Amino acid sequence: MKTIDRLDDAPIEVPRGLANVIVTDTGLSGVRGREGFYHYRQYSAVELARTRSVEEVWRLLLDGSLPDPVERLAFGNEVAAASGLDDATRAALDELGRTVPAADPLAALRVGIATEGARRCLRPLFDLDPAERRSGLLGLAAKVPAMIATFARASAGLPSVEPRPDLGYVADYLFQLTGSAPESRHVDALSTYLVAAIDHGFNASTFTARVIASTGADAASCLLGALGSLSGPLHGGAPSRALDTLDAIGSPDRIDEWVTARVLAGDRIMGFGHPVYRTEDPRSALLKEVARSFGGPRVDLAIQVEERIPVLLERLKPGRELHTNLEWYAAIVMELCGIDRSLFTATFAAARVLGWTANVLEQAADPKIIRPSARYTGPEAPQPVPAR
């Protein structure tokens, strides 16, 4: 906790990382960490993930209400019509995938968003009315699955697949990745994950998108900034590392040895711990249910590791609690759905970008730029010379 002087010289206490600092009002989502609960508008996010499609929840965040059947069809058609890529965007992603073997899918996604934004000559949000802002944001976000799939197939030496927007946001994504109609259980499982990940309060990437939106910048700039924030391993870049943990452990008989070594070394165990939740992460509990429905040795090992860590922690670090977060079972679910682990963070982005669009819209309606202050702690500066 640090004391920082406000411009009016009234000292206030500011926690590191702005933890628990309320920076604005929002009507989109809330996270109640002590209760292990989060919601989208007035609805439990977990229940929405169990019962509603990605399109329905995206529409809820964008327009304020869950759609009736007619509205659901209209919104689905709107998303489908916007999902195709510009030829230049497809060519850029294809070339990147074919010529740069080590290219990061999230970096490729930034290329796609930047190219689409530039080709469409998107104007600053400041100069647009609400309907124009919504149209521009939806038009970019709807293309994200095609951007990821185009790059992924090029990286694998495969030709891109013409999208099937009639399948819906989730099924079309899997179809474009694999080139074949996805199994219904894979569509259902991935849909549950994506809905659960659409929004989550003022996380780092959402806050970044809103800061950029507060300047009146264009829609592509807002989404690009958020994607940059999401690339950090402490934010969205962790799902594949959860599988790395399971790979390193290998079998149930090595759990104690591996976890004990990491805890005593003070290392972070990826897939565990969250800055907000002080109890079980409800997203983890939800995706654990989904993983259990598939079953298999990988799922069994993941559950055994989750259940064993609290026991070991009580022995090694009494009083310290560590629960799984979204990434732990999200990695398992994506793997079960046939998604390569290199695409895990980009797939997370295919969900979170939808929440960003709603947050950018909400922020753009506020004419006040986000401009906090910092306390200077460098070498002493000279005192100003009074004017004569």
Q: Are 173 and 186 in contact (CB under 8 A)?
A: no
55, 116, 327, 335: which one is catalytic?
327
What is the C-alpha separation between 173 and 353, in angstroms, rounded? 14
- Three-class SS of residue 13? strand
Q: Give catalytic status of residue 327 as yes or no.
A: yes
List 274, 306, 323, 335, catalytic entry: 274
Residues 240, 347 contacting (CB under 8 angstroms): no
d(CA 193, CA 337): 11
Our answer to whether residue 274 is catalytic in this structure is yes
Q: How far apart are CA 72 and CA 153, in angstroms?
A: 31
CA end-to-end span of the chain:
41
Which residue is associated with the tokens 């264009």?
A: 218
Per the CB < 8 A criterion, the answer to whether 151 and 93 are in contact is yes
Give the span between the Cα atoms of 339 and 182, in whole angstroms. 12
Q: How far apart are CA 166 and CA 149, in angstroms?
A: 17
Picking from 63, 35, 61, the residue whose alpha carbon sits closest to that of residue 48 is 61
The closest alpha carbon to 244, from 364, 140, 335, belongs to 335
Provide the residue type at 228 as one letter: G
Catalytic center residues: 274, 327
